[in-house]
Amino acid sequence: MTDEPAPLSYAEFQRVDIRVGRIVGIDDFPAARKPAYKLRIDFGSEIGVKTSSAQATKYYRKEELLNRLVLAVINFPPKQIGPYMSEVLTLGVPDGEGAVVLLTPERDVPLGGRMF
């Protein structure tokens, strides 16, 4: 049995700014504790290109991730991950073994579009 999550108001949820971006650059991240990639994600002209890391190496090769649309939280403070500064949190969910499956729009949508 897991603990119930604390109730969240709709106003609190609206403060989380989740946007769609396109992965425009990807590098291996050998300094990460768990296998990961370093990503550069374009969120369009209003937000620009931001950095992120993603432990998405089980299901995705670098070539498959390039130009893929992803969802990310853009209004968390930057986080230092080893020698890399992650500016946004790329969203994913774990499979049955804990490997990351990225959250992506099922259709092509404009960069920077906000999830609601």
Domain boundaries, the chain: 11-102
Percent of the chain clearing pLDDT 90 (strictly above): 91
- Contact in structure between 87 and 50 (CB atoms under 8 Å): yes
Asked whether the predicted pLDDT for residue 26 surpasses 90, the reply is yes
The separation between the first and the last C-alpha atoms of the chain, rounded to the nearest angstrom, is 30
Please report the pLDDT score of residue 58 as a whole number.
Answer: 96
If you average pLDDT over residues 74-99, what whole number do you get? 96
What percent of the chain is predicted at pLDDT more than 70? Answer: 98
Query: For residue 4, is pLDDT > 60?
Result: yes
Average pLDDT estimate for 71-77? 97
β-strands 18-28, 69-73: how paired?
Answer: antiparallel
| 11-102 fold | OB fold (Dihydrolipoamide Acetyltransferase, E2P) (2.40.50)
Cα dihedral 64, 109, 43, 71, rounded to 10, equals -60
Q: Are 50 and 34 in contact (CB under 8 A)?
A: no
d(CA 56, CA 47): 24
Mean pLDDT of 49-77: 97
The pLDDT of residue 1 is above 70: no
